[in-house]
Amino acid sequence: MRGLVVLVTLACFANAQHQALIDYLERRLLAIEDRISLWHEETTRYASELRELKQQMVSQLDNLDKEKEILRTNLDSVGTRVDRVERELDYLETQNGAQPCVDVDDKLIEQQVSLVKEKQKAKYSKLSDCSDMLSSIKAMKIVKRVGGPKGMWTKDISRGSGKVFIFNGTDKDTIIQFTSVQDFARSLNMSASRNLKLPSAWRGTGHIVYNNHAFYINQADEITVIKYDLKNSSVTDSVVFPVQDHVPVYGLSPETMMDLAVDEEGLWAIYATRENENYMSLAKMDARSLDIEAMWDTNCPRENAEAAFVVCGTLYVVYNTMQPGRSRVQCVFDVNGMVTNEEAPQIYFPKRYGAHSSLKYNPQEQLLYAWDDGYQILYKLSMKKKLEI
């Protein structure tokens, strides 16, 4: 009997321990469920807050994009106004240029001009029917700054062509082509361009692109003008210029022995020789055959000259003046004798950097393509009739 009591007692004790374990496990499970429920609530709250934050960020980004667009529009408007003010200031400068600081003997110039006129009347008939002449620099536009301090850039001087060509430097064999002035202005440095390798190196900055041909100067023992077909990538013609003892045509550009130019009448060559080394000479060339049609000795000094160009058979030579950052046309030579230095208007360039290493006239646009210490610049020209002088 006592043994039975002991067994019952042990059974009751075991049941009590088992129940206590079950109660403990239930409490632990309830605690875990509470924590899981809490984590779920916090996760839901965090997800909701993240969604709200994302919506706020998207809204703020939209507002920033709108403000950025407004700012860009305002900056474009300001840039346009600044360009307009610059053009107006440049125009005022060209209309109110200072007098040159160098005194010139008027009688000596008159004698020289008269001598040249008589010489040309004896040898040549009237070459050009073009009656326009340069009146002033109407506006200036800085297109870009790319390349070295010296070089040349120009548009193909032919109707219907918008291609732009860059001759960067004074002694290379590769020119850079852009499809338009706009593409050149928008490109990053020389990106979006095409490289055209020439069969020989050019020398100086006196080259030109005319009717899908590059006319460039190659200098070895003699001065050679090379005509290169840009479409077919081949040399069409070349000629040794029939003058000996060349000297640099511009006092401030010793690399340029000859400068080619194009105007309403075709191709010209500006050069200088040791025989008459203080002054420039001018030649009219046949752009098809490269034959020399006529030659003139001008009264335009080489000393302190930057560059030159031809408009309607008139040579305009640009000199560095005594004023900082300014250039001026100080010598004019008309092959038909209709314009002289005394009759020509004073023309100042609103230059801001170094010296012009090249000036290329485009007769279709009446623009000058200028290279100034690595800046590519466009000058808009105003014209008048020669008979109105």
Asked if residue 352 and residue 286 are part of one domain, the reply reads yes
Distance of CA 39 to the CA centre of its chain: 65
Asked if residue 325 and residue 303 are part of one domain, the reply reads yes
Place of tokens 């007769």: 363
CA atoms within 13 A on the CB side of 115: 9
pLDDT at res. 122:
46
Whole-angstrom CA distances from 300 to 113, 314, 319, 330, 337 are 10, 12, 10, 8, 14
Angle at 251 between CA 249 and CA 254, to 5 degrees: 70
Q: Which of 281, 303, 287, 150 is nearest to 229 (CA)?
A: 287
Q: What are phi and psi of 76, to 5 degrees?
A: -60, -40
> Is pTM, for the whole model, over 0.85?
no
Asked if residue 168 and residue 23 are part of one domain, the reply reads no
pLDDT at res. 225:
96
Asked if residue 222 and residue 370 are part of one domain, the reply reads yes
Q: Which of 386, 5, 383, 371 is nearest to 184 (CA)?
A: 371
From the number of C-beta atoms within 10 Å of its C-beta (0-12, 13-18, 19+), residue 326 rates as middle
Number of separate domains in the chain: 2
Whole-angstrom CA distances from 384 to 117, 230, 288, 348 are 22, 35, 30, 16
Please say whether the beta carbons of 59 and 51 come within 8 A. Answer: no
Q: Which domain does 324 fall in, by range?
A: 101-388
Q: What are phi and psi of 246, to 5 degrees?
A: -70, 150
pLDDT at res. 189:
78
Q: Which residues contact 132 (CB under 8 A, 6 or more apart)?
A: 264, 311, 312, 383, 384, 385, 386
Whole-angstrom CA distances from 346 to 102, 137, 341 are 14, 10, 9
**What is the CATH number for 293?**
2.120.10
What gap in Å lies between CA 269 and CA 109, rounded to an integer?
24
What gap in Å lies between CA 12 and CA 312, rounded to an integer?
129
Last residue of a domain, one of 96, 121, 154: 96
Residue type, 386: K
Beta bridge partners of 186: none
Asked if residue 156 and residue 69 are part of one domain, the reply reads no
R_g of the chain, CA atoms, integer Å: 39
Asked if residue 131 and residue 87 are part of one domain, the reply reads no
What gap in Å lies between CA 210 and CA 161, rounded to an integer?
10
In angstroms, the first-to-last Cα distance of the chain is: 152
Asked if residue 323 and residue 179 are part of one domain, the reply reads yes
Please say whether the beta carbons of 253 and 357 come within 8 A. Answer: yes
pLDDT at res. 28:
82
Asked if residue 88 and residue 35 are part of one domain, the reply reads yes
Q: For the chain, which ranges sit under pLDDT 70?
A: 1-13, 79-129, 322, 324-325, 351-352, 387-389
Last residue of a domain, one of 78, 96, 114: 96
Asked if residue 154 and residue 66 are part of one domain, the reply reads no
The tokens describing 193, both together, are 């361009």
What gap in Å lies between CA 195 and CA 181, rounded to an integer?
16
Residue type, 250: Y
The tokens describing 238, both together, are 């070349």
pLDDT at res. 100:
39
Asked if residue 92 and residue 105 are part of one domain, the reply reads no
pLDDT at res. 324:
64
The tokens describing 82, both together, are 């600044």
Asked if residue 208 and residue 75 are part of one domain, the reply reads no
Asked if residue 208 and residue 82 are part of one domain, the reply reads no
Beta bridge partners of 266: 263
The tokens describing 335, both together, are 């092959």
